[in-house]
Amino acid sequence: MAVTETTETKVLGPADVTEHRSPIVRRLKTIIFTSAAYVVMSALAVVFALPLVWMIGTSLKRESEVLSIPPTFFPSQPQWENYVTTFNTIKTFMWNSSYLAVLNVVGLLLVSSMAAYGFGRLNFAGRDLAFALLLSTAMIPSIIYLIPQYILYRQFGWIDTHYPLWIPRVLTPVIGTFLLRQFFKTLPQDLEDAARLDGAGTFRIYWSIMLPQIKPGLAAVGVFTFLDSWNDLFGPLIFINSVELQTLPVALALYQGEFFTQTTLLMAGATITVLPVILLFISSQKYFIRGITMTGLKG
């Protein structure tokens, strides 16, 4: 008995060719779009970094090189003594800004997290109304109540002290309370129920169970608070008269005169001022970005 073998040749149609090529085409499109995105972001990063590079370069120049034509980004001979001179001048102001920033960050995180836990996890009469009233205070421009605020602080004996620069900010953490409340509301109720079954009280649940769960939110609020305190120029100018109690932003203004500006020393001081902010953001970048992206996931 003869066995007949038949070989069938499948002819690929246009639809089969398109289906075969589509993964390759999609891969090429992904590579092109990704490469283009990186090129655009790199170009934007260079543009945004130019002022920082110019600031650092100017801080190392001689005063005669600042306005040279054509302008240059980098000094012909770095003048490192500019930083020594600037640091010796502003070290007292830097200490004032540093410890005020620590007081503001620690105090505001503590007060705002407790308030946020109360508004987000506890049930009490008038909770939503009280929270709405709290948020409404953020809509009032601070310049409106500046004069009554100054009169009140003068009666307290706070003028020419550091009290106005941290106590009001710590005791009125509206934005911090709002952000942390959103984080507390995303936590499962089972955590609290299990802790209460184990005999934990309200403060123990807040401090030991719930607070460690919102580290990204705490990092975001902490960075915002640090920047607000570190860059505050208006408060020290209004409430402080003594030079030795002033902060870094005011110290930088001392390099600007009516007829002459010490540009190299001013840029050195600005570099010293910006450096802690950059280090803070780098060290808390992961938590900070996560805290911003997760805010408002649950109302």
Q: In this predicted model, what pLDDT tens digit does every residue of 65-81 receive, in sequence order? A: 887 778 787 888 889 99
168: its two tokens: 């009001």
Q: How confident is the model at residue 299 (pLDDT cuts 50, 70, 90)?
A: very low
Residue 121 near residue 184 (C-beta atoms within 8 A)? yes
Length of the chain, in residues: 299
Calculate the average pLDDT of the chain. Answer: 86
Amino acid in position 32: I
Q: How confident is the model at residue 1 (pLDDT cuts 50, 70, 90)?
A: very low
More confident residue, 236 or 285: 236
pLDDT at residue 157 is higher than 90: yes
User: What mean pLDDT do residues 196-225 have?
Assistant: 91
User: What mean pLDDT do residues 278-296 have?
Assistant: 72
Distance in angstroms (rounded) separating the CA atoms of residues 216 and 294: 8
Q: How confident is the model at residue 113 (pLDDT cuts 50, 70, 90)?
A: very high
In sign, the C-alpha dihedral spanning 30, 33, 39, 44 is negative
User: What mean pLDDT do residues 76-96 have?
Assistant: 92
pLDDT at residue 87 is higher than 80: yes
- The confidence score (pLDDT) of residue 253 equals 82
- The confidence score (pLDDT) of residue 100 equals 96
- The confidence score (pLDDT) of residue 171 equals 93
pLDDT tens for residues 242-266? 999 999 999 888 787 656 778 899 9
User: What mean pLDDT do residues 56-65 have?
Assistant: 89
The reported pTM is 0.82
- The confidence score (pLDDT) of residue 148 equals 93
Amino acid in position 6: T
- The confidence score (pLDDT) of residue 66 equals 84
Percentage of the chain with pLDDT > 70? Answer: 88
Distance in angstroms (rounded) separating the CA atoms of residues 187 and 201: 18
Distance in angstroms (rounded) separating the CA atoms of residues 182 and 117: 10
Percentage of the chain with pLDDT > 90? Answer: 53
pLDDT at residue 30 is higher than 70: yes
- The confidence score (pLDDT) of residue 2 equals 47
Distance in angstroms (rounded) separating the CA atoms of residues 291 and 219: 7
Least confident of 27-36, 147-156, 166-175, 276-285: 276-285
User: What mean pLDDT do residues 156-164 have?
Assistant: 95
32: its two tokens: 């092109």
For residue 112, give the nearest of 277, 225, 232 by alpha carbon. Answer: 225
Residue 73 near residue 51 (C-beta atoms within 8 A)? no
Q: How confident is the model at residue 135 (pLDDT cuts 50, 70, 90)?
A: very high
Residue appearing with tokens 């620069």: 165
- Taking CA atoms, 257 is separated from 74, 95, 254, in Å, by 25, 24, 7
